[in-house]
Structure 1
Amino acid sequence: MPKIIDHDQRRREIVAVAKKLIIQGGFEAATMRSIVAEAGFANGALKRYFPSKDSIVAATFQSVLAEMNERINDGDPSLDPKEALRHDIEVTLPLDTYRIDSARVLLSLWEHSVANEELATLYREHLREWRRRLAVRIAEARDRGESPEAPTVTALAGEVISMSIGANVTCLMFPSGELIPEHRAHVDRLMRNITD
């Protein structure tokens, strides 16, 4: 009886290998050859799942963005609006080893997306949706009857996103987490600025 292969699981495994290689050696380390070797597949088997490195990169990018969205959506629905906002900010920051590694992958993929319009479009859509969700959370946390589209609210959402991206960039130089206390303190200041 032939062995039944879960092709979706194989794709997830390949993406996990690509992430691991990017974490260890940057974007250039995730070659088709190194992915095949690390995953333990025959050379031709990889092309069945991903015809090119760009297709693996796109799947890896989507995976990292989906993980970030899942962490945001994992918030406790019983949290009050201020704590829900704090949760949504903190899950995007490099506050543990896993998120520091995710930042390494995401930043490598950002660089690659500059020359790849499909990836750039994917990330722009992610940024728009992130800003929209943050604006809703901020308007709720401020409790001033503001619309999520109000200029003050959207400006604050932009500030949160810029702070998060900056924290993810700087964590690359401090991969053991030395900046985690600084990032947490910044969240406290940002929360006061938003809600006071």
Structure 2
Amino acid sequence: MPKIIDHDQRRREIVEVAKQLIIEGGFEAATMRSIVAAAGYANGALKRYFPSKDSIIAATFQSVLAEMNERIGEQGPAPEDPLEALRHYVEAALPLDQYRIDSARVLLALWEHSVANEDLAELYRQHLRTWRAQLAERIAAARGRGESPDAPEVMALAGEVIGVSIGANVTCLMYPDGTLIPEHRAYVNRFLSHVTD
């Protein structure tokens, strides 16, 4: 009887290999040849799942963005207190553990690659739009002033969190041992105090 192959599982495995290669050696380390070798597949088998490096990179980018969204859910249900729900959401996007620091390395490589790849750039722009809208909803609720999520101050606060989160993900690469984690946690506390001022 022929062996049944789970093709979706193979695609996930290939993406995980690409991610690990990027973590260890940057974007350049994730060549088709290195991915094939690390995954243990024949070159022809890899092309069956991903016809090009760009297709693997796009799948890797989607995987990392999906993991960011899953992290929010993994922290358990959002607290009923709107301010704590906001804390929960903001902390999920910051590099507060080794897994997220490693993910930041992958994101940085993919951001750089997306500058020359409009499909990847649009994928990330869509992620940013969704992230900003969700943040704005949580910020408006935490402020408790009946503001619309589209209110200028609410949107400015959402933009601040996005900017700080992206900056934190970049700077953590210079401190992969987690040295900056207390600084990131302190930022969250300052931000939440500012939100309710």
TM class by smaller structure: over 0.9
**What letter is aligned with 1:72?**
I
| Kept after mapping to 1: 8 A contact 2:101/2:176 | yes
Does the residue aligned with 2:173 lie in a helix, a strand or coil?
helix
Counterpart of 2:168 in structure 1 is 167
- Structure 1: how far apart are the matches of 2:19 and 2:91? 22
- Structure 2: how far apart are the matches of 1:31 and 1:57? 10
- Structure 2: how far apart are the matches of 1:101 and 1:42? 28
Does the residue aligned with 2:11 lie in a helix, a strand or coil?
helix
- TM-score for both structures, normalised by structure 2: 0.98
**What letter is aligned with 2:116?**
A
Deviation per CA, 1:128-152: give whole Å up to 9, x if none.
Answer: 0000000000000000100000000
**Structure 1: 5+ residue stretches without partners:** none
**What letter is aligned with 2:150?**
E
Does the residue aligned with 2:178 lie in a helix, a strand or coil?
coil
- Structure 1: how far apart are the matches of 2:184 and 2:85? 18
Matched, 1:112 2:106: no
For the structure 1 residues 77 and 178, does the alpha-carbon distance in structure 2 shift closer, same or farther, using more than 3 Å as the test? closer
Counterpart of 1:176 in structure 2 is 177
Counterpart of 1:14 in structure 2 is 14
- TM-score for both structures, normalised by structure 1: 0.98
Counterpart of 1:35 in structure 2 is 35
**What letter is aligned with 1:71?**
R
Aligned length: 196
- Detail structure 1 runs of 4+ shifted over 3 Å in the superposition: none
Counterpart of 2:131 in structure 1 is 130
Instruction: Give RMSD over aligned pairs.
Output: 0.8
**What letter is aligned with 1:44?**
G
**What letter is aligned with 1:15?**
V
**What letter is aligned with 1:120?**
A
- Structure 2: how far apart are the matches of 1:85 and 1:9? 34
For the structure 1 residues 63 and 170, does the alpha-carbon distance in structure 2 shift closer, same or farther, using more than 3 Å as the test? same
**What letter is aligned with 2:184?**
H
- Structure 2: how far apart are the matches of 1:136 and 1:13? 35
Matched, 1:72 2:72: yes
**What letter is aligned with 1:5?**
I
- Structure 1: how far apart are the matches of 2:177 and 2:44? 38
